[in-house]
Structure 1
């Protein structure tokens, strides 16, 4: 039987997956195209800010609640949809 991760591990896993999947290190010229649907640069900034905030909190031994993990997951899911529309993720 597979044991569910604790809240800290779940948040760390979510952060790692998003950092790996989203194009945070792509040059701005490649993110901002001729015609954007939404603003992928701003979407990435919003997610990066949230991730950085949680990385600091986790380093300060703050334990996230399930609702906070869920909220961050939902934000990332919605941003990913916008990035996909702009061709920045598959």
Structure 2
């Protein structure tokens, strides 16, 4: 059996996965199309703010609760759905 990661490692893994999946480094011209469904730029800003906040907390050795990991994962899942509607992720 594989051992489950501790909460800090799980949060770090979530942050890394989201950073690899979401187009944070795309120019605004590529993100803001002619017809947006929900503002993908604002969605990315919300997620980036949350990820940066948690990176700082993890560096300060603050351990997230299961609820905080779940909340961030749910936010990212919902934002990903919006990004997919706009053709920014597969």
The alignment's TM-score, normalised by the length of structure 2, stands at 1.00
1:39 maps onto 2:39 in alignment: yes
Shift >2 Å, 4+ stretches:
none
- RMSD value over aligned CA atoms? 0.2
State the SS of the aligned residue for 1:11: helix
**Equivalent in the alignment of 1:64:** 64
Number of aligned residues = 90
Structure 2: gaps of 5 or more residues: none
| Alpha-carbon distance, 1:2 to partner | 1.0
| Alpha-carbon separation, structure 2, partners of 1:29 and 1:42 | 14
| Alpha-carbon separation, structure 1, partners of 2:6 and 2:58 | 13
**Equivalent in the alignment of 1:3:** 3
**Equivalent in the alignment of 1:29:** 29
